[in-house]
Each structure stands twice: as C-alpha cells, then as structure tokens.
Amino acid sequence: QTLEQYTKAGKIVVLEWFNPGCPFVKKHHEAHKTMKETFDKYKDKNVVWLAINSSAPGKEGAALEDNQQAKEKWGIEYPILLDPTGATGRAYGATNTPHMFIVDAKGVLVYAGAIDDNRSPKHVGTNLVAAALDEVLAGKPVTNASNRPYGCSVKY
C-alpha cells in the first residue's frame, strides 16, 4: 500500500517514527499505553496507523528482530515499516522517536510534532495526536498543527 492509496480511500494516516530501543518510545508503548490507546480509539474511524523505523543498519533499533519483538511484547497491532536508507524519514523531516505526523484524507500533512506535551521520560501529558485527530474528524483545522517533537534522535 502507498500513502496515496490510503488517502484516496478516504483514510486519515498517522505516522509514528519508531525505535524499540528509545526510552521515550518505551514510555508510550510499555510504561504507558499512549500509542495503543490512541490507535484503539481511532482505528474504526477511518484512521490508519503506521510506525516507521528509519534507523540505519547497525544502529540502535534497526534489526528486524528487535522490531518484531517489540511488536509482540507491546501488543502493537499496526505495521512497523523499516526505512533503513532513511529516505522516508528525511522526506518527512522526522527528527525524533517518537515523532508523529497526521496526513488527512486529502493527502495533506495536518499535524507534525510530539505525541503529548510532557517531555519527561516517565510521565504522560495531554495527547496532542488525539486532539488533532478529533479536529480532523470533525472537519476542523488542527489548532496545534506543529510543535517540537521530543525523544531520541532518529538513528540515520
């Protein structure tokens, strides 16, 4: 599937930059279930969720096995796509894991930033992606369309 195929089918696409070794990814998948809960809330509302790992071969989190183990351990129901050349990550300007993007059903990037507003490695704040998805689904412009992501650097 391509992004265009999803959007032509009327789907909203959430892209989550992912690295199973990053403490901030672990925060939202293991310590808290931010990603799973957000995915579950929107999966039946024409929202497709894709994780993308842009770690280069030999860098932290790049191994297929690490991603498969994380998917199983954390109960991730959506695909984890590997981007070993970093082409996709660079095209989006992904700088951190997790770095979140939302593409609306018209193929327009409507959100780029953090999953939440608490940069702590332990605590979770307001879910910015959920707020953005609520606005998109209501046909409204995203109020907080761009903010600074936090977490580990993407291992290009």
**63 in Cβ contact with 38 (< 8 Å):** no
Tokens of 67: 């991603």
Residue pLDDT tens, the chain, 156 long:
788 999 999 999 999 999 999 999 999 999 999 999 999 999 999 999 999 999 999 999 999 999 999 999 999 999 999 999 999 999 999 999 999 999 999 999 999 999 999 999 999 999 999 999 999 999 999 999 999 999 999 999
pLDDT of residue 103: 98
Rounded distance, CA 85 to CA 91, Å?
11
For the sheet containing 47-53, what is the strand order?
80-82, 47-53, 12-17, 100-103, 109-113
pLDDT of residue 2: 86
Rounded distance, CA 94 to CA 54, Å?
9
pLDDT of residue 58: 94
**14 in Cβ contact with 51 (< 8 Å):** no
- 12: which strand partners? 47
